[in-house]
Every structure is written in structure tokens, then in C-alpha cells.
Amino acid sequence: MDNQSILAEVKDRVAVIRLNKPEMRNALTEDLTRELIDAIRRMDEDPDVGAMVLTGMGKAFCAGGDLNEFKTNLDKSAPQLYEEGLWSTELFKLGAVVRTPLIAAVNGPALGGGCGLVAMCHIALASDRAALGTTELRLGLVPYVILPWVRRAVGHRKALEMMLSAEVLTAEQAERIGLVHRVVPHDQLEEEALTLARRIASLSPLAVRLGLDAFYTTEQIDLLKSFDVLSTQRIVSFLSEDLREGATAFLERRPPEWKGR
């Protein structure tokens, strides 16, 4: 798939999705947001894709919202603003909905909504040149849509500090607070992300999907109820062909041949 705002390709069961507006630092314009939603959904539904890598073209990962679009919004009605905001809302819902692991390869600045994308991804690797922050208050805005993901990534107190200070963090600072998992040399970032994605894509696709479903489902319910849900899902795993194949392959000392069921 190839279009103006998003570039996507699949190789070795890994989809690489690139934000492709380098002249705008890959800002989340309405058209880029729509195309990004479409790309993630398509790759998530593709049985030949076992992991996704999200990165930016040019020097930035994603600079957040488009300031030109913000200015035009000043003259719009509340219903118009609500309708247009639905695209951003749908984008950030995807992190809890997709069942194909999404890996951020943060190649440069990730600010505002770009920082939210990093927090939304299941795993985040960052270049040593990356910079991250929830900087919306500098513009008189509030990081409404991304707050749930940032809070989950770094914790309540740190997320509050990030929002109120509107500071930009270095990649190393972001790693220390859990916003990214690992910092790597800039010229090694994409290969590190692809290596990780290929490793995940080599696992049982059914087990990966069930694992993500279990993780996000139990996050939204109370502790005791979560044990009941997980006990039910455990039965599905034990009756799956992939578990039988995985155990057999281990005993026979050979690579498993996953069926995804």
C-alpha cells in the first residue's frame, strides 16, 4: 500500500508503516490520521502480518497536531469540532483494539499527539536523537486524547508532571520513566525494531492475539473478575492447535509450524 501521507510494506510477516509528511514533521493532519487508521486496521486484519512497526519519514517521528488545522478550527461550531475530533479519538482507541503487536521506532521528535502514539504502541524503541513530550499547554491546549495512554505508560504522577510542565524529554529520560522501553543508536533503530518485530512474528499468532486480548481486557475490570476471564481464555489456549504444535515441536527439537488456531 502506498499513498501520500502513509507508506506501508510487508516483508517477513512484518508490516512497516511510515508517517510520510516529513515537510510537516509528520504532523497528525486529518488526512494522515485517516490513512494511518486505515493502514493499522488493514495490517491488523492481514493473516500474513505478525507484527507492525510504526516510524516516521525524515527527521521527526511525529510533531503532533497540525497547527494550521488548529487555527481553522477556531471559527467552527462545537458539533463540527466534535465530528472532526472523532478521527483522532478513533486513532488512539486502536492501541487497545488491535491484536497485532505494534512497535514504535521513534526516529526523532515525538511531541503532543506524537508522544501519544509512542505511549499507545505496545512496545517503543527510541533513537538516541529522539525527544518526547506532552507540550500542548505551551499552545494553550490540553492533551485530552492522549492522556489515557501517557498515564498508563508512565504512571499517574509522572503523567501529571509531563502535562503541567510541558517539558521535552530526551530519549534517555523517556526510557527512565517507562515512556520508551529501550534507546538505541540512531543508525541502528530500524534494524533493532525489525529484529524485535520478526521475533514476535515468529511466535504463535493465536497466542499473541490471546495475550493482547487478555492484557487489555483485564486492565478494564476488577481484580477478582479478571481471574474468571483469564481462566476461560486459558481453556481456549489449551484446546488450540498451536499449543499442541508448540509442545510437540519443543519435544521433537524442531521449529513449530503455527496454524493460528
The domain limits of the chain are 6-201, 205-252
DSSP one-letter code for 1: -
Q: How confident is the model at residue 256 (pLDDT cuts 50, 70, 90)?
A: confident
Q: How confident is the model at residue 243 (pLDDT cuts 50, 70, 90)?
A: confident
The grid cell for 126 is: 527510541
* b/e sequence 1-20, b meaning 16+ C-beta within 10 Å: eeeebbbbebeebbbbbbbb
How many Cα neighbours within 13 Å face the side chain of 220?
8
User: Quick one: 217 exposed, middle or buried, by C-beta within 10 A (0-12, 13-18, 19+)?
Assistant: middle
User: Domain 6-201: which topology?
Assistant: 2-enoyl-CoA Hydratase; Chain A, domain 1 (3.90.226)
Between 121 and 257, residue with greater pLDDT = 121
Rounded CA gap, 112 and 40, in Å? Answer: 20
Rounded CA gap, 14 and 127, in Å? Answer: 20
Whole-structure pTM value: 0.90
DSSP one-letter code for 135: -
pLDDT value for 91:
95
Rounded CA gap, 30 and 107, in Å? Answer: 22
**Stretch 105-127: mean pLDDT:** 98
Q: What is the layout of strands, in order, in the sheet containing 51-56?
A: 6-11, 14-19, 51-56, 102-106, 123-127, 182-184
Catalytic annotation on 257? no
pLDDT value for 113:
96
Question: Which candidate in 9, 23, 136, 192 is catalytic?
Answer: 136
Cα 210 to Cα 14, 101, 217: the distances in Å are 19, 11, 10
Closest to 61 measured CA to CA, from 2, 143, 144, 121: 121
DSSP one-letter code for 2: B
Helix/strand/coil for 131 = strand
Task: Give residues with Cβ within 8 angstroms of 211, minimum separation 6.
Answer: none
pLDDT value for 69:
65
